[in-house]
Amino acid sequence: MRGLVIKNTGSWYQVKTEDGRLVECKIKGNFRLKGIRSTNPIAVGDNVHIIINQEGTAFISEIEDRKNYIIRRASNLSKQSHILAANLDQCLLVVTVNYPETSTTFIDRFLASAEAYQVPVKLVFNKVDAYDEDELRYLDGLINLYTYIGYPCFKVSAINGEGIEEVRKSMEGKITLFSGHSGVGKSTLINALVPGLELRTAEISAYHKKGMHTTTFSEMFPVPGNGYIIDTPGIKGFGTFDMKDEEVSHYFREIFQISDKCKYNNCTHRQEPGCAVRDAVEQHLISESRYNSYLNILEDKEEGKYRSAY
């Protein structure tokens, strides 16, 4: 029988079967996954096949290929990683232009990592009820920019409900990860989207604070319309990853698009002659803030800071 893993306690998995049952499963045998040395072979979001025994116990017999997954290294020095979640359909990055301010550098770094992990991102600009005219104008500028690049944007207030319905619709049938700085309103937003869910996530938080199973526990919560939210504490973004200088621009869509017009095909778009990207920035075809974020990642990479930035 086919099912979706929605909870991983470290010792057993809760699987939602295709016919709608919730079944507690153990793993049988050794799962070896291509290319990953992981502390857990199965994660929430995995599509699995289970076998239910006559006495009512069940085990996972097969895991289907993943379209993506996010990991956390067991420790800085370790090559082993923990798979936090698999098969994410999207990430909603909650940002605020004020209270607190989310910088474009942060947004762009996040978007670049998401590109690397092949997880589509939508930007949710929260707290629109609290902004003055200047802040709203700046916000609209950002929305124009990111919509143009290809990231859908929402303008919402988790407190007064503005724009919430559109976000709710965009979560239907999808596995969604919420991310964003502390204080941007993720919990408030999730509670506005799915009333009653907050209580359950608070329980999980308390459980985590006790220090139990912190590295192995994860859970997805069903949302109306057949979707799921991943809101496990500790999963606030993507892990670190290594990339070559000339790869960084692959994760900036609009920069990558233009880069094949650069004179050198290993152009890093800094000082090289005949760089089409720098030309585009000068002609305001590529936003300066995006280009600066791009340079910023390159610089941090050189100083070895990028890995610890997340």
Ligand X SMILES: Nc1nc2c(ncn2[C@@H]2O[C@H](COP(=O)(O)OP(=O)(O)OP(=O)(O)O)[C@@H](O)[C@H]2O)c(=O)[nH]1
Positions that interact with Zn ion (CB under 5 A): 262, 267, 269, 275, 277
Q: Does 204 bind ligand X (CB under 6 A)?
A: no
HEC-encoded secondary structure of 42-96: CCCCCEEEEEECCCCCEEEEEECCCCCEEEEECCCCCCCEEEEEECCCEEEEEEC
Q: CB 73 → ligand X: shortest distance, Å?
A: 22
Report yes or no: 144 and 138 within 8 Å, Cβ to Cβ. Answer: no
Nearer to Zn ion, 93 or 275 (CB): 275
- Taking the mean position of all CA atoms in its chain, how far away is CA 31? 25
| Element spanning 114, H or E | helix 104-117
Task: By CB under 6 A, name the one of 33, 52, 145, 159 that touches ligand X.
Answer: 159
Residue of 7, 82, 109, 186 that binds ligand X (CB under 6 A): 186
186, interface contact from ligand X, Zn ion, none, CB < 5-8 Å by kind = ligand X
Structure tokens at 28: 């049988």
User: Which residue of 15, 184, 276, 297 would you call a contact of ligand X, by CB under 6 A?
Assistant: 184
Distance CA 289, CA 281 (A): 10
Please identify, using beta-carbon distances, which residue of 38 and 96 lies nearer to ligand X: 96
4 in helix, strand or coil?
Answer: strand
Q: Which is nearer to ligand X, 158 or 258 (CB)?
A: 158
By beta-carbon proximity to ligand X, the closer residue of 181 and 290 is: 181
The answer to whether 106 touches 290, Cβ cutoff 8 Å, is no
82 binds, among ligand X, Zn ion, none (CB under 5 to 8 A by kind): none
Residues of this chain that bind ligand X (CB under 6 A)? 126-127, 129-130, 157-159, 180, 182-188
Annotated binding site for GTP: 126-129, 180-188
